[in-house]
Chain A
């Protein structure tokens, strides 16, 4: 019973922190924190699935989140006229050729007898395949990127409703996770960590440089939204009247209303995923996963296929991260590959899971909200702290201005300190696994 009270208390505490932000700062920033907190909670659920359930050390979260964002662009934007005829087909053909080369090389490697001939054949397939691929692929890219480069220059999307992008983001992330898992999951835990770290960097590099895909660092802006636009709300007389009835001016009311709608959508997704994760945890499957995590050898002796289960949970967790990534890009209304940084999108999620309580879904959700709140609020707090410290110093002194300017970097420091403190004094997190 006291356990339930503790959980309730912790969640109420985080809720109170967000409400306090609303009262003291503005409701706008409170809702911003809430929305990103919901998304962070979903990401933390995904990482918890991999680390908490199965003990897989995935530090490539950023890559899967970015793939979700990519899915939003590919699903929801309108197709660029002429892009498919002027090179899109060639691009797809080139990609198929590239994939076929890899598959052929892998097949040759598996089927042929070990020896020098095999090495030569595999190498030959790879080299010839690479040049074929470049030969078909490059003109296609040039064709697509030549179309109105200032505003488009990419293939564009399918023009479908943006909400559809969320599950598609999950599927895209799951597909890439399958490829990665097939090659890297046999590795030891810290090798897997390095491998996933590298894959995330590669995914970001691809998104930054392949302009035909989603315009690269030129960014895609103005993505369609699942909720009404503020301008339209302000123009609607019914809305203005209702806002006036609540004593709000139409501008504030419209921004708040839009954010509330987003919060509603995100809450639905979070609740569904949380429910599924809880069911999984308390099912025979969940018990098996934890058994594998705690003792792989024993689980294998009991006839469990460890590699397959690892692959399964790796794909599921990555898919959840992909969904969260699609939600985040939808909320931002733009895809900016340049802003994906491992500290923010991989390691911060890890802090959330560890602080919340790895192996416990509710813990991961709590960690998502709490750490996101701190991530946002440490900056103003740091600024306040620095101003207090420097209040006695002379105005215009170099040290004073340096300290105040550097306050923004307090957040990384704080996150590290929080992570280390939790690991040391409460290694199982705020809501420990049962």
Chain B
């Protein structure tokens, strides 16, 4: 019984939040890694791309809510998601046409493109703040819990409760679907294969008649979709605030690099590695240990390794360790 309680507490505060957060990071890191693989630069504007897509979703959600359209127990935001993706895709395609293409044609050095993406970051950040403002926005509705603490306790008779929020469930389900579709696309379709070929060896791909502009177009479309989905899930699960999305850049990049930049599978693994380390290191283990350890050995302190505010430090240390010991990441990424 004691061990069961320990496991329930662990699931409630560590496993479930980390799985949800990891899925969100993985989707974000997939976008970063795709841009790196195909367009060959680290996109600093990715956090703000996510914020823009999410902003469109939030606005459309509000519109639907005012019309009285909803999905019952599910959040209305799911209905608004396609509109968000479309808006985000329009924005990134416009950016590519007006900004990035010039440097691509010139074959500019990757670091120049990174600086260019800094400019894009400023613009997108300004745009989002201009349209929706810098404050927190609530847009989650529908049923709050799939399993609430009270029902769980009543069902199992345990002392400790387990809550699974709807947003957490939706996050995981959506992430699985999106990743499955993405891998099917990359591995099975002609366009996906040409994208992978282009990423592996640009010259050979061009030689075999792959149209680079088409590859780039599809990449941006996929990136816009991934960014919007990741941003919306994060926003539903936590809250939508433009600055938070900018700050997500760090764990997302850490996830992509830890997994190996340019490797989609690595991005997913990296996302979960970062999320689990962040949550476990900043969680106070007192309660879990109290149940798990035999009588008399219960800890007196909180048993929190680091305070929650240092979660950036966690992703950063992992990043550094991986870079020092395995520079291409867990899954062999590319190193341009």
Q: Residues of A at under 8 Å CB distance from B?
A: 55, 57, 130, 183-184, 187-191, 193-195, 197-199, 201-202, 205, 208-209, 341-343, 347, 350-351, 354, 405-406, 409-417, 419-420, 423-424, 427
Contact = CB atoms under 8 A, between A and B. Distances in A.
Given A189-B110, A409-B130, A423-B119, 14 more contacts: A187-B323, A188-B336, A189-B114, A195-B319, A202-B310, A208-B309, A347-B122, A406-B133, A412-B125, A415-B126, A416-B123, A419-B122, A423-B115, A423-B116
Contacts of A409: 126, 129-130, 133-134
B219 interface: no
Query: Which of the listed residues B102, B257, B316 has the most CB atoms from chain A within 10 Å of its own CB?
Result: B316
Contacts of B42: 190, 193-194
B129 A412 contact: yes
B254 to A, nearest CB: 7
A209 B313 CA distance: 13
Counting chain A CB atoms within 10 Å of each CB, the highest count among B123, B130, B320 belongs to B130
13 contacts: A187-B323, A190-B111, A193-B42, A194-B42, A198-B250, A198-B315, A208-B309, A209-B307, A343-B125, A413-B122, A416-B125, A424-B99, A424-B102
A57 B114 contact: yes
B163 interface: no
B246 A199 contact: no
Contacts of B125: 343, 412, 416
Contacts, number: 126
B319 A350 contact: no
Given A184-B320, A343-B246, A415 B122 contact: yes
B123 A417 contact: yes
B41 interface: yes
Given A194-B254, A195-B323, A410-B130, A420 B246 contact: no
B131 interface: yes
A194 B151 CA distance: 44
A414 B125 CA distance: 11
B120 interface: yes
A409 B48 CA distance: 15
A208 B309 CA distance: 9
A198 B312 CA distance: 7
Contacts of B114: 57, 189-190, 193
Interface string B245-262: 011011001100100000
Pairs A-B, 6 closest by C-beta atoms = A416-B122, A413-B126, A412-B126, A416-B123, A419-B119, A198-B316
Interface string B165-199: 00000000000000000000000000000000000
Contacts of B71: none
Contacts of A342: 246
B313 A416 contact: no
Contacts of B126: 409-416
B105 to A, nearest CB: 12
B91 interface: no
Contacts of B243: 341
B234 to A, nearest CB: 18
Interface in B102-161: 102, 110-112, 114-116, 118-127, 129-131, 133-134
Contact of A343 (B102, B122, B250, B307): B122
A419 to B, nearest CB: 4
A55 to B, nearest CB: 8
Nearest to B41: A190
Nearest to A382: B130
Contacts of A195: 316, 319-320, 323
A191 B323 contact: yes
A199 B102 CA distance: 32
A57 B111 contact: yes
Nearest to A408: B129
Contacts of A413: 122-123, 126-127, 130
Contacts of B310: 202, 205, 209
Nearest to A419: B119
Contacts of A419: 115, 118-119, 122
Contact of B316 (A130, A202, A423): A202
Which of B122, B257, B320 is packed against the most chain A CB atoms within 10 Å? B122
Contacts of B309: 205, 208-209
B335 interface: yes
Nearest to B251: A198
A24 to B, nearest CB: 26
A350 B130 contact: no
A85 to B, nearest CB: 25
B98 to A, nearest CB: 9
Nearest to A420: B119
B324 interface: yes
A201 B314 CA distance: 11
Interface string B2-26: 0000000000000000000000000
Contact of A347 (B118, B133, B315): B118
Nearest to B45: A416
Nearest to B335: A188
Interface in B22-62: 41-42, 44
B130 A205 contact: no
B112 to A, nearest CB: 8
B121 A347 contact: yes
Given A201-B250, A410-B126, A416 B120 contact: yes
B209 to A, nearest CB: 31
A209 B41 CA distance: 34
A420 B110 contact: no
Contacts of A188: 335-336
Contacts of A193: 42, 44, 114
A194 B120 contact: no
